[in-house]
């Protein structure tokens, strides 16, 4: 049973991601952000639900579409926006950019931008948990486009072989850049792949944050009990192009409109209204979130640029003080 | 001092570090039950157990990535490649992940992982198994690259590599594993980034590492005996970062320099050393800096052709005589 305050919290977190991404797109159009920018709009329920399914100390990996996941885990939107602006106050000191958010304090071990390359890393942090005998769990997010590359195969293979505490979450947003899945995969049901790695697989539609949370939580708890990894395919949809420069001409306007009817934010909003929450309260929430994101943009704009001296001091790490 | 084989010295270094720090573990193909393809890990499984001496499937991308991930959260993995030729399967994990994570996380996430294994030609293993990987990995900022040429350095450098907080590419000579040499009884750390003068001389600086170090030493003997040229032979031991000071100091003394390396001539640490010498000791040089490298062809199988491709005593002698203007 989810109480109303918790639901309002989910709505606020999803709205924060949505508004953050909208402002990022605007800043990009204004030339304030460079490089690539992969937006999470339409997929917010997955990040918020997954964050609600784990503990603060758990480890999380994401692909380059990482803003939403980082924010859901508790990254300060100011640090996130400052990173996009290439500022010293950014979550990676302006050295990572959009695709490489990091937030160790919240367990976020990075956005990784070579497709599938981070799945073995997630097996690695899960290996560490098993090695030291702790009950931490690792979550690893990636798109359906990653399910054909070697890193997917080898990361899943080792996780299955060693029964590592990791949950692989495939956010199937239908298009690997511009290519629909039926042109890249011989399988319609990606969970069939999980069998080959000796782990359970399941799939379901996104859209209902509480349902997503409960199903991710089941896999997380399974891993925490030492019963091994899981593969979860969550069928979702991105409302924007693959990246900011993609007009998404490979899909029809009708398809996009149809999908937008299943906007996870509208769905939760409707549920809250039905449950008797006043529309005014929800409007106030939106105003509050607008304020947070406006503040994040202001903070980013006013922050000092990434520091040149860190160019040299972050190539190699200095000796640590905690050496035995 | 007692004598150990190169593989025994590595084994001892690994065991000492695993004994000292329980975050250190060894992972790779055949490292456990098989006792290591080259027997470097002999006895470690029995001593440290399956959680710390971990056999893997043939999956370099997977287990290299596991090493990087585990290092990111505080363990100290030693990842063995059965040979460095197989590291190409894990290239992305080493270059895109291990070498990048510290800077791209804004300095939040160090990555103290050691990748180790044998490299170079190994007596007729043909083109796919004969790569010298030094040029590939020395090009990458964010990596430290070592090459141990002696049993003593194999042990001492490996211990330092394991204790370092950065990804270390640890290169071993596939044809050196059986070599015996002096290794102190007491644990010894050989510092990263420090060259060693193996032979002193004032006639020409010879820089070499790995198997070619011994070819260079042999050539130095011939040059001293036949040509009256005393070479100073320097083993960089760490190829990135390079010990420029030791190299330049020697060239200031000898005014001549020949770099001998078992990698192809196009780029790599061989060419890098030449560049550093020519701009760091330009005024001291009496001759252009020359290199003796692998011939610029894939490694052939036939023994006589393989010997032709690798640096030889004859080619080294010829290069040194040339920079000494011995034929004038």
Contact B110 A317 (CB under 8 A): yes
| pLDDT digits 0-9 by tens, A106-117 | 999 999 999 999
How close, in Å, is residue B92 to chain A by CA atoms?
Answer: 7
Mean pLDDT within A253-257: 93
Under an 8 A CB cutoff, do A124 and B71 touch?
Answer: yes
Q: Which residues of B touch A110 (CB under 8 A)?
A: 101, 104-105, 109
- For residues A65 and A5, what is the distance between their CA atoms, to the nearest angstrom? 28
Local confidence band at A322 (pLDDT 50, 70, 90 cut-offs): low
Residue-wise pLDDT for A80-95, tens only, equals 999 999 999 999 999 9
Minimal CA separation from B104 to chain A, in Å: 4
> Per-residue pLDDT averaged across B159-173, rounded?
98
Cβ within 8 Å, pair B72-A125? yes
Residues B69, A95: C-beta atoms closer than 8 Å: no
pLDDT digits (tens, 9 = 90+) for B246-303: 999 999 999 999 999 999 999 999 999 999 999 999 999 999 999 999 999 999 999 9
CB contact under 8 A, A114 and B102: no
Nearest CA in chain A to B96: A114
Beta strand B114-119 pairing with B144-148: unpaired
Angle at A193 between CA B88 and CA B73, to 5 degrees: 55
Q: What is the mean pLDDT of residues B225-245?
A: 98
| CA distance linking residue B55 with residue B45, whole number of Å | 10
Measured between beta carbons, the chain A residues lying within 8 angstroms of B103 are 95, 314-315
Asked if B51 and A131 come within 8 Å (Cβ–Cβ), the reply is yes
Residue A321 has pLDDT above 70, yes or no: no
B107 to A318: CB separation less than 8 angstroms, yes or no: no
Size (chain B), residues:
328
Catalytic residues of B: 60, 129
Interchain pair A319, B69: CB under 8 A: no
Contact (CB<8Å) B101/A110: yes
Cβ distance A112 to B97 less than 8 Å, yes or no, reads: yes
Half-sphere exposure of B276 (CA within 13 A, CB side): 22
Q: Which residues of A touch B163 (CB under 8 A)?
A: 323
Which residues in A145-189 belong to E strands, given as ranges?
A: 166-172, 175-176, 179-180
Residue B171 in 3-state DSSP?
Answer: strand
CB contact under 8 A, B106 and A313: no
Compute CA distances A167 → A38, A140, A172, A277, B56, whole Å: 23, 6, 15, 34, 21
Closest Cα of chain A to B24: distance in Å?
A: 11
Proportion of chain B above pLDDT 90, given as a percent:
99
Is the per-residue pLDDT at B174 higher than 90?
Answer: yes
What beta strand segments (E) does chain B contain? 3-5, 24-28, 53-55, 76-80, 114-119, 144-148, 168-173, 180-182, 196-199, 204-207, 231-235, 238-240, 257-260, 290-292
| pLDDT band, residue B141 (cuts 50/70/90) | very high
The residue among A62, A121, A323 with the most chain B CBs within 10 A of its CB, best to mutate, is A121
- Which residues in chain B have Cβ-Cβ distances shorter than 8 Å to A122? 69
SS3 state at A318: coil
pLDDT of residue A214: 98
* Mean pLDDT along residues B146-170: 98
DSSP A303: S
**Per-residue pLDDT tens digits for B71-102:** 999 999 999 999 999 999 999 999 999 999 99
Q: Alpha-carbon torsion A192, A194, A195, A201, what sign?
A: negative
B96 closest CB neighbour out of A92, A109, A114: A114
The DSSP string of A222-261 is HHHTT---EEEEEE---SS-SSTT---TTS-HHHHHHHHT
Alpha-carbon distance A50 to nearest alpha carbon in chain B (angstroms): 21
Examine the pLDDT at A10 and tell me if it is beyond 80: yes
pLDDT in tens, A152-197: 999 999 999 999 999 999 999 999 999 999 999 999 999 999 999 9
Shortest CA gap A43–chain B (Å):
24
Q: What's the confidence (pLDDT) of residue A323? A: 55
Taking CB atoms and an 8 Å limit, are B70 and A96 in contact across chains? no
Query: Which of B24, B93, B104 has the highest number of chain A CBs within 10 A, making it the mutation to test binding with A?
Result: B104
Nearest to A96 among B62, B75, B105 (CB): B105
Q: Which residue of B has its CA nearest to A83?
A: B106
Cβ contacts (< 8 Å) between A153 and chain B: which residues? 62
Q: Whole-structure pTM over 0.95, yes or no? A: yes
Which chain B residues contact residue A320 at CB under 8 A?
Answer: 110, 165
Which residue of A120, A319, A320 is in closest CB contact with B65?
A: A120
- Residue A260 pLDDT > 80: yes
- Chain A residues in contact with B112 by the CB 8 A cut-off are 317
- Report the DSSP beta bridge partners of residue A143: A171
Cβ-Cβ pairs closer than 8 A, A with B, add up to 153
Average pLDDT, chain B: 97
- Which of B61, B105, B110 is closest, CB to CB, to A110? B105
pLDDT at B243 over 80: yes
Q: Which residues of A touch B104 (CB under 8 A)?
A: 92, 95-96, 100, 102, 110
Q: Is the dihedral of CA B285, B288, B294, B298 positive or negative?
A: positive
Contact criterion met (CB < 8 Å) for A94 and B68:
no
What does the mean pLDDT of chain A come to? Answer: 96
Torsion of CA A150, A156, A157, A161, to 10 degrees: 160
Q: Which of B52, B66, B97, B102 to mutate to test the interface with A (most CBs of A within 10 A)?
A: B66
Q: What is the pLDDT of residue B62?
A: 98
Asked if A237 and A248 count as a contact pair (C-beta separation under 8 A), the reply is no
């Amino acid at each position: 049973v989810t109480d109303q305050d918790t639901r309002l919290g989910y709505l606020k977190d999803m709205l924060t991601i949505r508004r953050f991404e909208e402002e990022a797109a605007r800043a990009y159009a204004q030339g304030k952000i460079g490089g690539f920018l992969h937006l999470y709009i339409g997929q917010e329920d997955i990040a918020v639900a997954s964050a609600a399914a784990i503990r603060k100390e758990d480890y999380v990996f994401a692909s380059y579409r990482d803003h939403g996941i980082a924010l859901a885990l508790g990254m300060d939107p100011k640090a996130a926006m400052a990173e996009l602006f290439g500022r010293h106050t950014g979550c990676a000191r302006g050295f990572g950019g959009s695709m490489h958010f990091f937030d160790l304090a919240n367990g976020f071990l990075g956005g990784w931008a070579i497709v599938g390359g981070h799945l073995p890393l997630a097996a690695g942090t899960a290996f560490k948990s098993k090695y030291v005998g702790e009950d931490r769990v690792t979550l690893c997010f990636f798109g359906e486009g990653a399910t054909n590359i070697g890193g997917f195969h080898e990361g899943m293979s080792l996780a299955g072989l060693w029964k590592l505490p990791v949950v692989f979450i495939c956010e199937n947003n239908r298009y690997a850049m511009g290519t629909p899945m039926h042109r890249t995969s011989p399988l319609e049901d990606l969970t069939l792949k999980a069998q080959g790695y000796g782990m359970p697989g399941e799939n379901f539609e996104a859209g209902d944050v509480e349902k997503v949370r409960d199903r991710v939580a089941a896999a997380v708890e399974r891993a925490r009990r030492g019963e091994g990894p899981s593969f979860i395919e969550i069928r979702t949809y991105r409302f924007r192009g693959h990246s900011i420069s993609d007009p998404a001409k490979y899909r029809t306007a009708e398809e996009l409109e149809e999908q937008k009817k299943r906007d996870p934010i509208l769905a939760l909003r409707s549920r809250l209204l039905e449950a008797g929450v006043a529309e005014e309260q929800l409007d106030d929430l939106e105003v509050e979130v607008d304020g947070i994101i406006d503040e994040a943009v202001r903070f980013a704009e006013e922050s000092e640029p990434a520091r040149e001296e860190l160019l040299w001091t972050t190539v190699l790490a200095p000796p640590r003080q905690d050496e035995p | 001092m007692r004598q150990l084989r190169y593989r025994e010295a590595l084994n001892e270094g690994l065991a000492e570090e695993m004994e000292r720090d329980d975050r250190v573990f060894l992972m790779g193909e055949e490292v456990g039950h098989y006792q290591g393809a080259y027997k470097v890990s002999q006895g470690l499984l029995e001593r440290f157990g399956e959680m710390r001496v971990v056999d893997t499937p043939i999956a370099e991308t997977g287990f290299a990535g596991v090493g990087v991930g585990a290092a990111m959260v505080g363990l100290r993995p030693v990842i063995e490649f059965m040979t460095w030729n197989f590291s190409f399967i894990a290239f992305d994990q080493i270059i895109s992940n291990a070498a990048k994570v510290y800077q791209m996380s804004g300095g939040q996430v160090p990555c103290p992982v050691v990748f180790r294994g044998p490299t170079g030609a190994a007596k007729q293993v043909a083109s796919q198994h004969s790569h010298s990987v030094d040029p590939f990995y020395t090009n990458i900022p964010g990596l430290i690259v070592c090459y141990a040429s002696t049993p003593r350095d194999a042990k001492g450098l490996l211990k330092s590599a394991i204790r370092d907080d950065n990804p270390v590419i640890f290169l071993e000579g596939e044809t050196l594993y059986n070599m015996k040499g002096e290794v102190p009884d007491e644990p010894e750390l050989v510092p990263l980034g420090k060259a060693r003068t193996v032979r002193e001389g004032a006639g020409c600086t010879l820089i070499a590492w790995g198997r070619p170090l011994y070819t260079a030493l042999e050539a130095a003997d011939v040059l001293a005996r036949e040509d009256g040229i005393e070479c100073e032979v320097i083993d960089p031991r760490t190829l990135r970062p390079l010990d420029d000071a030791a190299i330049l100091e020697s060239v200031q003394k000898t005014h001549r320099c020949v770099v001998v390396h078992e990698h192809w001539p196009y780029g790599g640490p061989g060419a890098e050393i030449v560049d550093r010498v020519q701009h760091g000791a330009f005024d001291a040089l009496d001759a252009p800096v020359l290199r003796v490298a692998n011939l610029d062809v894939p490694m052939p199988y036939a023994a006589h052709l393989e010997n032709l491709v690798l640096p030889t005593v004859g080619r080294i002698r010829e290069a040194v005589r040339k920079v000494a203007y011995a034929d004038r």
